[in-house]
Amino acid sequence: MSTKLFRICFSAILFLGLTVGSAFAQSHQVTGTVTDSNTGESLPGVNIMVVGSDAGTTTNLDGEYTLNLPSPNESLRFTYIGYQALVVPVNGREVIDVQLESSIISGEELLVVGYSVQQRRDMTGSIAVVDMGDFERLSVSGDMVSKQLQGVASGVSVVSSGQPGESPDIRIRGINTFGNNAPLVVIDGVPGNMNNLNPNDIENIQVLKDASAASIYGARASNGVIVITTKQGGGSVEVNYRGSYGIDWQGRENPWDIATPQDQANLVWRALANSGAPQQHPLYGSGATPRLPDFIAPAGAMEGDVNFDDYFIIPEYTDAALLGQFFRITRANHEGTDWFNEIFRTANTAQHDISVSGGSEIGNFLFSVNYLNQEGTLMRTFRERVSLRANSSFNLGENFRIGENLQYTVSEAPQVASLTEGSAIGMSFRAQPIVPVYDVMGNFGGQSGAGLGNAANPVAIMERTRNNESQTRNLFGNVFAEWDALENVRVRTSFGGELWNWSSQSFSFPTYEEQENSPNNQLFTSQGNGYNWTWTNTVQFRETFDRHNVEVLVGTEAYQNAGEQRNANIQGFFSFDPNFVSLSTGSGTPVVSSWKWEDTLLSYFGRLDYIFDDRYILGVTLRRDGSSRFLNNQWGWFPAASAGWRISNESFMDDVTWISDLRIIGGYGVMGNQINVDPANSFTLFTGDPNNSFYSINGSNSAIAEGFRLQRIGNPDAQWEKNVTANIGFDGSFFDEKFQLSVEYYWKDVQDLLFNPTLIGASGVATAPFVNVANMKNRGLDMSFAHFGQFSTNLQYNVNLTFTSYTNEIVSIADGIDFFAQEARRWPGNQFIRNQVGSPVSSFFGYRVEGFWQSQAEIDAANAGAPSGTYQTDAGVGRFRYADITGDGQVTPDDRTILGDPNPDFTYGISMGLNYKAFDVSMFWYGSQGNDIWNQVKYWTDFYPSFIGAKSNTAVFDSWTPDNPNPTAPIQENQSSFSTDGVPNSYYVEDGSYLRLRNLQVGYTLQPDVLQRIGIRNLRLYVQGNNLVTFTGYSGPDPEIGFFTGSGAGGGSTNFGIDEGQYPTPKQFIFGINLSI
């Protein structure tokens, strides 16, 4: 994607900034002094912003300020760490002196939740409010919005990777279903995709975690709700620019700890000797000592004078018959190729954001354009995005308002689709280091020589993706109208949604350098498009009388989602020029497929909020949803209730002055879930299949009919999953609101989980329907703490903590089914992921290693006590000794057990900030404790017989020998066995706990009296580091491993936490500027 679109948009925004101002602006100057309301001391560095824009100024060392406004009708917002924010209308005044109250955390804060706005202090639902300071510091890194939520809100788990454009996995209070656990995201009142948002356009974020807070959003809210409000215009016309430039790198060379070529040769000799085999090898010769070759040819080692005239390769060949004639010569790399370092690079990230905003009593507007160009540290990966946003609202009289929010995004992010052992990252720990990147003629080096194995050249894999493309276009937004029909009655209608389309293309080049080459060239294309819309209508009533405060909201909502996808591929190109390659130029037979989908929801909802005497708070919600995904059970009722008691307002608390506000809150409710059900789950489907013959679909069974088969068995009786939640806790502020603490304990019982159990063989190859059979439960504790203070008027500080604990247990699966297993990888029939009743989802399963067999006498003694005469299959000196879990005196499949699970015991975030005059320093730490990782990389690197390829220093220097009887790895041999690498066992399970410095930033804001001389209102410069330090005991490159679909980290909510070559999170250093004119 060219930057031309960004240049055009950038120029347009500047033009708007220069022309629109005439419609809104007049000239007006305001001066004044800002002081502490208690001490009267002047406050330097106070931020003074024009409401609705990023423009403003700061007070000087004497607390004085001067601000030029285009209109005398603006409002100014004064903010300062350690003090309550204050908004002051100008009303034509030229001098405005302000006193700020020494209190930061204010319960008067308004939050947008559940189709309306409420004061934070009156909420009884479980809601986490994102600290926008922490969020904005993370937003300059080029990451998606969803990645920036990590650690900034209690109860929210975010696991991401280093791959540009890959969406992280977000879980609110754990795993709620066997399928899609993603929360509902509501942007300006409309469900949408937050990863298409420009982070600089976001005003605030709230996370709704329980039924009492989220159930108003209905069926799509079962996994929690993230509510995002974007910035709106207001005040004088302002032009704001934010820009940053970053450098990304992987901070660790040779993260797999791969041994040198000579050490690997020595390992081969030892493995052969341990197995009683002759010490000879096609690369290393024969004799007492292995010798590295000078050159490598298809038959193995080449020594002495090599005739390069024998070399014959045509890299981009189209005749498959040539493959057998190729003869490659590779100069052996005795120093060793660091394949990880060869495919990873230092990358650059640039981000530019410009906006124009303004407003008056007539209305307001905001236009913005954002450009992001993020290179991946893995070669040939990147993300490029242009985002345009516009919103405005207008007052049509005193009681009627209309407005719109629109966003258009174009992004391109070709990705590594499957991060497993076959990817470039996977090959970086499989490919032999003796092989260089390029051969003697500059073509790709490879493992085609005898004794090298069948790994591929990682650089070649990535270089051959050079013509791959993946582009997405998205239009999102809504239009709305509000009418204050009566003094306390507001009617609102909103219609919004999104239009999207995407296209991708990849080309498979023929290979020539591998042990297992493919002569085929092939083009793959895929396209999709679709839409969804949401129409919401609400009526809201608010009334306050005597000591009663009542709010009632009722509404309806209709939703539709539809789309289609088309795939095609073809082979047989005589030229690989990307300008020539297309579906019409291949000579092979095209293979095409396509499908469509559609589903709808219709909902009715209502909510009652009641407060008595500012002490007793009650909230009741009821929603009725109807879904097209269910046939016989379309409708579901989903109620919720919550209550709060503001103890701090009771008379017996009058003398407790250190408590500013204290509420006990609790809630209970039921939410429905239907997103894991295919829209056609209710129906039995047949599909065309011209390559096979099956029985006639009319059920006669008298003849075979070519071309049709049973594809899916329907279940018309499927119904809603039910997420029953309850929580209790307290929320308080203390010592003049300088401290805030929130603690909640929650429990969830997920009932009628939709699951597709294995069908009996008589059902053939048909897909099983989803049926309501399983149950699951979650328990946990959420806590957040905030403290703001100052050492002096020039030195302020703030601390924020979030903490989330979580336990998960599968209660039941289906009649006669106690578990379902996944992920056999290299052990056919021995899956190491087990979702089992009584255990957490995605538990690791296998034999528990309890040590090593140290002598034959030890083995004989164990065999003597075994009922079968054999304690453990393939027991041998130096091999693993497995635990007899059942206690029957022998190791059998019944002794396999749960070895751990990837669910963390708790996660936490720590944010600290310090302001001194015009300088500010902040840091943010994130930690995860108790999560286990299945390190599948060890299968390839730590056992000689698993695979002919690269081996680790663990295998070379820390495996069992008579001189090293208590090592890390077992004895190295030339054959696999049950007692080493032949079955899943606890050797692969590692503690993945970690603590990471996610962000460190130092900034300086220039003094306003200097800036105004050159026509600048605000200028801040900063430097920032991300992911600079990680403390962990995990042996792999990165302990942050999650749910990524199709990647080495697992494939979903029931099989995650697997590392077989993930894309590590890079370190990053950023320079940035924020400018207002």
Residue 76 has pLDDT above 70, yes or no: yes
Average pLDDT (981-989) is 98
Letter for the amino acid at 591?
V
Question: What is the enclosing helix (H) or strand (E) of 998?
Answer: strand 994-1005
Q: Is 954 helix (H, G, I), strand (E, B) or coil?
A: helix
pLDDT in tens, 341-351: 999 999 999 99
Residue 650: beta bridge partners? none
Dihedrals phi, psi of 23, to nearest 5 degrees = -80, -20
pLDDT in tens, 735-782: 988 899 999 999 999 999 988 766 555 455 677 888 888 999 999 999
Residue 597 has pLDDT above 50, yes or no: yes
Average pLDDT (318-324) is 92
The reported pLDDT for the residue numbered 605 is 96
In a domain, 933, yes or no: no
Give the DSSP letter of residue 168. P
CB 1066 within 8 A of CB 249: yes
Residue 26 has pLDDT above 50, yes or no: no
Please report, for the domain that includes residue 30, its CATH number.
Answer: 2.60.40.1120
What does the DSSP assignment read for 4-23?
Answer: HHHHHHHHHHHHHHHHTHHH
For residues 517 and 321, give the distance between their C-alpha atoms in angstroms, rounded to a whole number: 12
Dihedrals phi, psi of 630, to nearest 5 degrees = -110, 145
pLDDT band for position 18 (cuts 50, 70, 90): very low
* Nearest of 577, 931, 736 to residue 102 by alpha carbon: 736
Alpha helices in 405-528 (DSSP H): 424-427, 458-463
For residues 681 and 672, give the distance between their C-alpha atoms in angstroms, rounded to a whole number: 17
In a domain, 829, yes or no: no
Average pLDDT (87-110) is 74
pLDDT in tens, 113-166: 778 877 878 888 899 988 877 777 776 666 788 888 999 999 999 998 899 988
For the ranges 73-82, 194-203, 487-496, 1016-1025, which has the lowest average pLDDT?
73-82
In a domain, 43, yes or no: yes
The reported pLDDT for the residue numbered 1051 is 43
Angle at 383 between CA 175 and CA 257, to 5 degrees: 70
> How many other CB atoms sit within 10 Å of the CB of residue 299?
11
The reported pLDDT for the residue numbered 376 is 95
Average pLDDT (91-95) is 86
> How many other CB atoms sit within 10 Å of the CB of residue 548?
11
For residues 709 and 700, give the distance between their C-alpha atoms in angstroms, rounded to a whole number: 14
For residues 308 and 315, give the distance between their C-alpha atoms in angstroms, rounded to a whole number: 17
What does the DSSP assignment read for 731-797?
Answer: EEEETTTTEEEEEEEEEEEEEEEEE-PPPPGGGTTPBPPPEEEEEEEEEEEEEEEEEEEEEETTEEE
Q: Is the dihedral of CA 68, 69, 74, 80 positive or negative?
A: negative
Stated pTM of the model = 0.89
pLDDT band for position 24 (cuts 50, 70, 90): very low
The reported pLDDT for the residue numbered 5 is 53
pLDDT band for position 106 (cuts 50, 70, 90): very low
Residue 1064 has pLDDT above 80, yes or no: yes
For the ranges 110-124, 708-722, 968-982, which has the lowest average pLDDT?
110-124
Dihedrals phi, psi of 451, to nearest 5 degrees = 85, 5
Average pLDDT (608-627) is 95
Residue 360 has pLDDT above 90, yes or no: no
Average pLDDT (568-590) is 95
CA count, 13 A, side-chain hemisphere, 316: 11
In a domain, 48, yes or no: yes
In a domain, 25, yes or no: yes
| Domain around 8 | 4-100
The reported pLDDT for the residue numbered 982 is 96
pLDDT band for position 104 (cuts 50, 70, 90): very low
- Which residues make Cβ contacts (< 8 Å) with residue 1013, sequence separation at least 6? none
pLDDT in tens, 855-881: 999 999 999 999 999 999 999 999 999
In a domain, 784, yes or no: no
pLDDT in tens, 1033-1059: 999 999 999 764 443 333 468 889 999
Dihedrals phi, psi of 336, to nearest 5 degrees = 100, 135
pLDDT in tens, 795-828: 999 999 999 999 999 999 988 899 999 998 999 9
The reported pLDDT for the residue numbered 22 is 43
Residue 236 has pLDDT above 70, yes or no: yes
pLDDT band for position 1076 (cuts 50, 70, 90): confident
Helices H, strands E: what count in the chain?
A: 12, 58
pLDDT band for position 314 (cuts 50, 70, 90): very high
The reported pLDDT for the residue numbered 109 is 64
In a domain, 310, yes or no: no
Residue 20 has pLDDT above 60, yes or no: no
pLDDT in tens, 516-547: 999 999 999 999 999 999 999 999 999 998 99
In a domain, 64, yes or no: yes
Q: Is the dihedral of CA 695, 699, 701, 702 positive or negative?
A: negative
Average pLDDT (948-956) is 97
Residue 246: beta bridge partners? 349, 1070
Tokens of 913: 């900030």
Residue 21 has pLDDT above 50, yes or no: no
The reported pLDDT for the residue numbered 415 is 82
For residues 1055 and 1005, give the distance between their C-alpha atoms in angstroms, rounded to a whole number: 48
The reported pLDDT for the residue numbered 114 is 78
Q: Average pLDDT of the chain?
A: 89
The total domain count for the chain is: 1
Give the DSSP letter of residue 355. E
